[in-house]
A and B are shown apart, each in its own frame.
Chain A
Amino acid sequence: MRIKQLLIGMTASVIAVSSYVEMAIADLKFPMLVYRTGAYAPNGIPNADGFVDYYKMINARDGGIGGEKILHPECETGYKTQVGVECYEKNKKDAMVFQPMSTGITYQLIPKATSDGVTIYSTGYGRTSAANGKVFKWVFNAPVTYWDGASIAVRHILKQNLGNIRSKKIALVYHNSAYGKEPIRTLETLAKKHGYKLMLLPVDHPGQEQKATWLKIRKARPDYVLMWGWGVMNQVAIKSAASIKFPMENFIGIWWSGSENDVLPAGQGAHGYKSLTFNAPGTDYQVHKDIKKYVHDKGEASGDGSHFGTVLYNRGLFQAMVQVEAATVAQKIHGTSKITPAMYRDGFENINLSAKRLEELGFKNFAPPFKITCENHGGSGLAAVQQWDAKSKKWNMITEYMYGDSDVVQKLIAEDSSKYATEQKIAERCK
């Protein structure tokens, strides 16, 4: 009897599985690789919420992009490369763009997506030399790269020291992975140029264990600490810095190490911590009003809706906006609303987010304007410094948006991308 029931159950499930037919995709598909679980979830969740809310708002307010609804299936990666590959393979059919939200997965997907003809948009992360559109046809990393970021941080330090940092010591606390290692070469090159001493302090995944790192900092007393961290590593680093009484205003994180989740656990100790950013925090923008009206007030907020207006949520909005804008541009260029992945890439390459266009989209003063061309997939290269005010629990922008050291960065990008081009036998485009 039991076996019979089991057999019936199995047959039923087999029928159910085989009768499953993939949904016909008539809309524009923007698959999302998210991580709402694991060591990187504290940062993954607000970012993913920003994406989803923006897509939902566009679907509700404008009825999609040029009349085509946005489909945004989520695939949970847990920040794991192997799962990322599975998610990519599962969703790549007719996909417009992938936003891996992980430098490791980005590296993994660059050759695959190039061969499949799918756009990869790694907003301010991933492979820095992908900014060279001549080599990386399908990859975009606008508006700013890690190497810009490293040189902007050094520029900020230079400004504070009136241009002379010859006797200074700068430490880099970094996630011991491809992501964290990205800025090292730039910082080394800049060290030669400006004469500061560089100290490298790796932190292993997931970043809980940093006692030795901060003991070293306590002993060596560097004048500045830069950080390339992500997930739980950020919180631990900021807490540790506070506990050894490191002057917080000399502690500068990359744009992935500067969200509310990172500083709040350290309480008052985090006061004065700085980070780079390429978008503004807060909720005073038209886009937030629209999201409130079309999504949140209808009770359709992604997640619990509590991340509205935080740094990473806003960054998600920005990233989603660029991806949607690429589709709009593509529709304009090709004169059809039903665009293919290849048309979408053309759209991406012709994005021109001027101040006026940003205002139309509801992003006035939200981020500096930028433009993507065939040669330049890296955007403007502008970022600003923001500082945490632990008393009012707010991030404040303390500088204008500034450029990095483009002489150094451009040279490094050209070197690295030409190395990749010879390895992979890619001929340069855009002549």
Chain B
Amino acid sequence: MIYKETGQYKSSYKSDHAIFPLLQDKIAFSTLMFIAFLIVPLVINSYWEKAILVPFLIFSLAAIGLNILTGYCGQVSLGTGGFMAVGAFSTYKIMTSFPDMNIMIIILISGLITAAVGILFGLPSLRIKGFYLAVATLASQFFLVWLFNKVPWFYNYSDTGQITVSERTMFNIPVTGADAPPYATYLFCLVLVVTLSFAAKNLIRSKMGRSWMAIRDMDIAAEIIGVPPLKTKLSAFAISSFYIGVAGALYFAVFLGAIEVTESFDIMTISFPVLFMIIIGGLGSMLGSFLGAAFIVTLPIGLKFLMVDMVGLSAVTAKHFEITIWGLLMIVFLIVEPHGLARLWSIAKEKLRRWPFPY
């Protein structure tokens, strides 16, 4: 009864093409946006900012990026950490070279630079597929991290190889650096994430998105009906890398503030978790990117809260449990719901449509 569609007629092409065709979805989404933009900034504190909301937003963006490439275009990538590092180091270099440039512009340019690098590493995808491509992108992960650690120009010849953000403002409010208030960094990320998500959603519904999915479902058939594989695959690599690059830029400039490439962009800290996000969230689903990011970011914190603060286990025992539960959940998830959280959500919607009269 909650998801009752009867009586909602689509009388124009516009309403037929809406992102949220159902009234209920529209209301839910507007409420969510209202809370996210107007309520959360009023109540946010630095713990919620630094531990949960900002990492969630940034990883959502990275997950959307990877989902475009892997979920929609079918090209498996393990190079997310490397591409995020490109975004972060571009931001750092532009920031230090042009101190007066606006931070929003810097971050978008970093995204474009990452897109260019993405195209370069996307070239092998024209020849190799599946696992082999995964290995090729893995090479990009290791190469890029090595490069940023090896060549001192990238970290302005600092002694330790660390890059540190300096303060930048939007409308005279600092959004980077240690003095940035929690609401500012949160809103900064939120605006970027919401705008870019809408862009991604519409791209996916456009001709470009349809050709990605054609390539994903069967590349030979797609080529025969006139989808150019070169252009399609490279555009997926470019756009995916753009999103990941922006995520990397935010990860460095807004979230952590100081970064060391080998630790912060390690395959185990970024590439695999982001891949898990889209697998757990749902391959080829925008909602899945967000759900997956939320799940992976909050699960360790939630488990820690439950075990250490509520039950009173010692921190180390809780950590051991966490690692075990983590692995178990992963397996259980893949067995019970291989299509991810997004699929669970649509099942729930089906149920809610008939509730409380299931039969």
Contacts and interface: CB of A to CB of B under 8 A. Distances in A.
A398 to B, nearest CB: 30
Contacts of A78: 319
A107 B300 CA distance: 24
A204 B261 CA distance: 11
B160 A178 contact: yes
A108 B266 contact: no
A114 interface: yes
B314 interface: yes
B179 A82 contact: no
Contact of B164 (A37, A204, A423): A423
Contacts of A92: 46
Interface in A111-139: 111-112, 114-115
Interface residues on B, range: 35 or more
Contacts of B179: 115
A132 to B, nearest CB: 15
A86 B323 CA distance: 17
A178 B46 CA distance: 26
Interface residues of A, number: 39
B178 A115 contact: yes
Contact of A37 (B50, B177, B320): B320
B98 to A, nearest CB: 16
Interface in B251-293: 256-258, 260, 262-264, 266, 269
From B51, B264, B315, residue with most partner A Cβ within 10 Å: B315
A5 interface: no
B316 interface: yes
Interface in A1-42: 16-17, 20, 34, 36-37
A75 B166 CA distance: 28
Contacts of A416: 159
Interface string B68-104: 0000000000000000000000000000000000000
B46 A81 contact: no
A16 B160 CA distance: 46
14 contacts: A34-B316, A37-B316, A74-B315, A74-B316, A80-B263, A85-B51, A86-B301, A89-B46, A112-B178, A176-B149, A177-B161, A177-B262, A178-B260, A205-B262
Given A82-B264, A111-B258, A424-B166, 17 more contacts: A17-B310, A36-B315, A78-B319, A81-B260, A86-B301, A89-B49, A89-B50, A92-B46, A107-B164, A107-B260, A108-B256, A111-B177, A114-B178, A176-B149, A178-B260, A184-B159, A205-B262
